[in-house]
Structure 1
Amino acid sequence: MEIQKLILAVILVLFIPRSVSFTPMDNYLLNCGSQSNVSLFNRLFMGDSTKPGLDFLSADKSIELTSQNPPPNSSALYHTARVFTSKSSYRFSMKKNGTHFIRFHFSPFSARGFNLKSAKFSVLVNGISLPSNFQLSNDTVLKEYILKIDSNVLDIVFKPVGDSGFGFVNAMEIFTAPVDFILDYGARLVTPNGVEEYRNLSSQVLETIYRINVGGIKLTPFNDTLWRTWIPDEDYLVFKAAAKRAVSTHTPNYQKGGASPEIAPDNVYMTAQEMNRQSNSLYSRFNITWNFPVAAHDARYLVRLHFCDIVSTALNLLYFDVYINGCSAYKDLDLSSLTIHMLASPVYVDFVVDSGNSGVIQISVGPSDLSSSMRINAILNGAEIMKMTNVMNSHGMARKKKLWVLVGSIVGGVVVLLAIVALLLALKCRKKKPKQRMAESVGWTPLRVFGASTHSRMSEGTAYASPGSNGYFGLKRPFADIQLATNNFDKDLIIGSGGFGLVFKGVLKDNMKVAVKRGMPGSRQGLPEFHTEITVLSKIRHRHLVSLVGYCEENSEMILVYEYMEKGPLKKHLYGSPGLSPLSWKQRLEICIGAARGLHYLHTGFAQGIIHRDIKSTNILLDENYVAKVADFGLSRSGPCLNETHVSTGVKGSFGYLDPEYFRRQQLTDKSDVYSFGVVLFEVLCARSAVDTQLDREQVNLAEWALEWQKKGMLEQIIDPHLVGQIKPSSLKKFGETAEKCLAEYSVDRPTMGDVLWNLEYALQLQESGRQRETHADGNDNESVVVSPTIVPQIPTNNVRAEGEDDNGSLDISTSRVFSQLMTNEGR
Structure 2
Amino acid sequence: METQKLIIHFILLLLIPCSSSFTPIDNYLLNCGSQNNASLFNRIFMSDSTNQGSTFLSADKSISLINRNPHADLHTLYHTARVFPSTGSYKFSLRKNGTHFVRFHFSPFKAQGFDLTSANFSVLVDGNLVLTNFKPGSGALLKEFILKVGSNFLEIVFRPEGNLGFGFVNAMEVFTAPDDFVIDYGTRLVGPFGVVEYKNLSYQVLETIHRINVGGVKVTPFNDSLWRTWIPDEGFLVFKDAAKPVVSTHTPNYQKGGATREIAPDNVYMTAQEMNKDRSIIASQFNITWDFPVAPGGVRHLVRLHFSDIVSRALSLLYFDVYINGYSAYKDLDLSSLAFHVLASPVYVDFVTDSDDLGVIRISVSPSELSSSRGMNAILNGAEVMKLVNVVDSHVVHRKKRLWVLLVGSIVGGVVILLLVIAAFLLALKCRKKKKKPKQRAVENVGWTPLRFYGGSSLSRLSEGTALNSPGSYGYFGLRIPFADIQSATNNFDRSLIIGTGGFGMVYKGVLKDNVKVAVKRGMPGSRQGLPEFQTEITILSKIRHRHLVSLVGYCEENSEMILVYEYVEKGPLKKHLYGSGRNEPLSWKQRLEICIGAARGLHYLHTGFARGIIHRDIKSTNILLDENHVAKVADFGLSRSGPCIDETHVSTGVKGSFGYLDPEYFRRQQLTDKSDVYSFGVVLFEVLCARPAVDPQLDREQVNLAEWALAWQKKGMLEHIIDPYLVGKIKQSSLKKFGETAEKCLAEYGVDRPTIGAVLWNLEYALQLQETDQEGESYDDSSALEPVNVTTTIIPEGPSCNIRREGDNDNGYSDMSATEVFSQLMNTEGR
TM-score range, shorter chain: 0.5 to 0.7
**Cα gap change, 1:502/1:197 in structure 2, threshold over 3 Å: closer, same or farther?**
farther
**Cα gap change, 1:233/1:623 in structure 2, threshold over 3 Å: closer, same or farther?**
farther
Where does 1:28-39 land on structure 2 (aligned, <5 Å)?
28-39=28-39
| 2:586 is aligned with 1:453 | yes
- CA shift, 1:303, in A, is 0.7
| 2:359 is aligned with 1:332 | no
Q: 2:662 corresponds to which letter in structure 1?
A: F
**Cα gap change, 1:557/1:365 in structure 2, threshold over 3 Å: closer, same or farther?**
farther
**Cα gap change, 1:452/1:626 in structure 2, threshold over 3 Å: closer, same or farther?**
farther
User: 1:298 aligns to what?
Assistant: 298
Scaled by the length of structure 1, the TM-score of the pair is 0.59
- CA shift, 1:139, in A, is 1.8
User: 2:451 aligns to what?
Assistant: 424
| 2:526 is aligned with 1:394 | no
For residues 542-581 of structure 1, the C-alpha deviation after alignment (integer angstroms, 9 at most, x for no partner) is xxxxxxxx99959x99995844988989999999xxxxxx
User: 1:82 aligns to what?
Assistant: 82
**Cα gap change, 1:314/1:471 in structure 2, threshold over 3 Å: closer, same or farther?**
farther
Where does 1:671-690 land on structure 2 (aligned, <5 Å)?
none
Q: Secondary structure at the match of 1:332?
A: strand
**Residues 620 and 661 of structure 2 are in contact (CA less than 8 Å); yes or no, is this contact kept in structure 1?**
no
**Residues 306 and 382 of structure 1 are in contact (CA less than 8 Å); yes or no, is this contact kept in structure 2?**
yes
Q: 1:34 corresponds to which letter in structure 2?
A: S
Q: Secondary structure at the match of 1:464?
A: helix
For residues 414-463 of structure 1, the C-alpha deviation after alignment (integer angstroms, 9 at most, x for no partner) is 64786897763674478489999xxxxxxxxxxxxxx9932432278646
**Cα gap change, 1:129/1:459 in structure 2, threshold over 3 Å: closer, same or farther?**
closer
**Cα gap change, 1:423/1:361 in structure 2, threshold over 3 Å: closer, same or farther?**
farther
**Residues 105 and 171 of structure 1 are in contact (CA less than 8 Å); yes or no, is this contact kept in structure 2?**
yes
Moved more, 370-379 or 282-291: 282-291
User: 1:196 aligns to what?
Assistant: 196
Tell me the distance in 2 between the aligned counterparts of 1:372 and 1:519: 42
| 2:31 is aligned with 1:45 | no
**Cα gap change, 1:374/1:637 in structure 2, threshold over 3 Å: closer, same or farther?**
farther
- CA shift, 1:395, in A, is 2.1
- CA shift, 1:137, in A, is 2.2
Tell me the distance in 1 between the aligned counterparts of 2:590 and 2:385: 51
Tell me the distance in 2 between the aligned counterparts of 1:354 and 1:564: 41
Q: 1:424 corresponds to which letter in structure 2?
A: L
| 2:597 is aligned with 1:464 | yes
Q: 1:806 corresponds to which letter in structure 2?
A: E
Scaled by the length of structure 2, the TM-score of the pair is 0.59
User: 2:662 aligns to what?
Assistant: 530
**Cα gap change, 1:113/1:626 in structure 2, threshold over 3 Å: closer, same or farther?**
farther
- CA shift, 1:6, in A, is 3.5
- CA shift, 1:182, in A, is 0.7
Work out the number of aligned pairs and report it: 563
Q: Percent identity?
A: 53
**Cα gap change, 1:38/1:400 in structure 2, threshold over 3 Å: closer, same or farther?**
same
| 2:127 is aligned with 1:127 | yes
Moved more, 15-24 or 621-630: 621-630
Q: 2:87 corresponds to which letter in structure 1?
A: K
Tell me the distance in 1 between the aligned counterparts of 2:14 and 2:166: 42
- CA shift, 1:405, in A, is 3.4
Q: Secondary structure at the match of 1:131?
A: strand
User: 1:186 aligns to what?
Assistant: 186
- CA shift, 1:80, in A, is 0.6
Tell me the distance in 1 between the aligned counterparts of 2:414 and 2:620: 36
| 2:41 is aligned with 1:55 | no
Tell me the distance in 1 between the aligned counterparts of 2:238 and 2:269: 22
Q: Secondary structure at the match of 1:22?
A: coil
Q: Secondary structure at the match of 1:130?
A: strand
| 2:72 is aligned with 1:72 | yes
User: 1:806 aligns to what?
Assistant: 776
Q: Secondary structure at the match of 2:117?
A: helix
User: 1:593 aligns to what?
Assistant: none
Tell me the distance in 2 between the aligned counterparts of 1:458 and 1:565: 14
Tell me the distance in 2 between the aligned counterparts of 1:182 and 1:388: 13
Tell me the distance in 2 between the aligned counterparts of 1:38 and 1:533: 47
**Cα gap change, 1:167/1:601 in structure 2, threshold over 3 Å: closer, same or farther?**
closer
Q: 2:199 corresponds to which letter in structure 1?
A: R
**Residues 186 and 522 of structure 1 are in contact (CA less than 8 Å); yes or no, is this contact kept in structure 2?**
no
**Cα gap change, 1:573/1:409 in structure 2, threshold over 3 Å: closer, same or farther?**
closer
**Residues 292 and 360 of structure 2 are in contact (CA less than 8 Å); yes or no, is this contact kept in structure 1?**
yes
Tell me the distance in 2 between the aligned counterparts of 1:558 and 1:261: 35
**Residues 463 and 475 of structure 1 are in contact (CA less than 8 Å); yes or no, is this contact kept in structure 2?**
no
Q: Secondary structure at the match of 2:65?
A: strand
- CA shift, 1:17, in A, is 1.3
- CA shift, 1:338, in A, is 1.3
User: 2:576 aligns to what?
Assistant: none
**Residues 453 and 627 of structure 1 are in contact (CA less than 8 Å); yes or no, is this contact kept in structure 2?**
no
**Residues 306 and 346 of structure 2 are in contact (CA less than 8 Å); yes or no, is this contact kept in structure 1?**
yes
- Structure having the higher Rg: 1
Q: CA RMSD in A?
A: 4.9
Moved more, 245-254 or 19-28: 19-28
Tell me the distance in 2 between the aligned counterparts of 1:23 and 1:622: 59
Tell me the distance in 2 between the aligned counterparts of 1:504 and 1:2: 55
- CA shift, 1:508, in A, is 3.4
User: 1:114 aligns to what?
Assistant: 114
- CA shift, 1:299, in A, is 1.4
**Residues 567 and 623 of structure 1 are in contact (CA less than 8 Å); yes or no, is this contact kept in structure 2?**
no
Tell me the distance in 2 between the aligned counterparts of 1:385 and 1:506: 39
Q: Secondary structure at the match of 2:283?
A: coil
Consecutive unaligned residues in structure 2, runs of 5 or more? 424-448, 464-544, 549-583, 609-617, 640-652, 667-673, 701-708, 750-773, 780-832
Q: 1:92 corresponds to which letter in structure 2?
A: F
Q: Secondary structure at the match of 1:132?
A: strand
Tell me the distance in 2 between the aligned counterparts of 1:558 and 1:396: 47
**Cα gap change, 1:502/1:252 in structure 2, threshold over 3 Å: closer, same or farther?**
farther
Q: 1:134 corresponds to which letter in structure 2?
A: F
Tell me the distance in 2 between the aligned counterparts of 1:558 and 1:156: 51
For residues 76-104 of structure 1, the C-alpha deviation after alignment (integer angstroms, 9 at most, x for no partner) is 01111011000001111111111000000
**Residues 9 and 247 of structure 1 are in contact (CA less than 8 Å); yes or no, is this contact kept in structure 2?**
no
User: 1:224 aligns to what?
Assistant: 224
- CA shift, 1:53, in A, is 6.8
Where does 1:268-347 land on structure 2 (aligned, <5 Å)?
268-283=268-283, 286-347=286-347
- CA shift, 1:10, in A, is 3.4
Q: 2:390 corresponds to which letter in structure 1?
A: N
For residues 753-794 of structure 1, the C-alpha deviation after alignment (integer angstroms, 9 at most, x for no partner) is xxxxxxxxxxxxxxxxxxxxxxxxxxxxxxxxxxxxxxxxxx
Q: 1:186 corresponds to which letter in structure 2?
A: G
Q: 1:179 corresponds to which letter in structure 2?
A: D
Consecutive unaligned residues in structure 1, runs of 5 or more? 437-450, 479-488, 490-500, 535-549, 576-596, 640-646, 650-803, 810-828
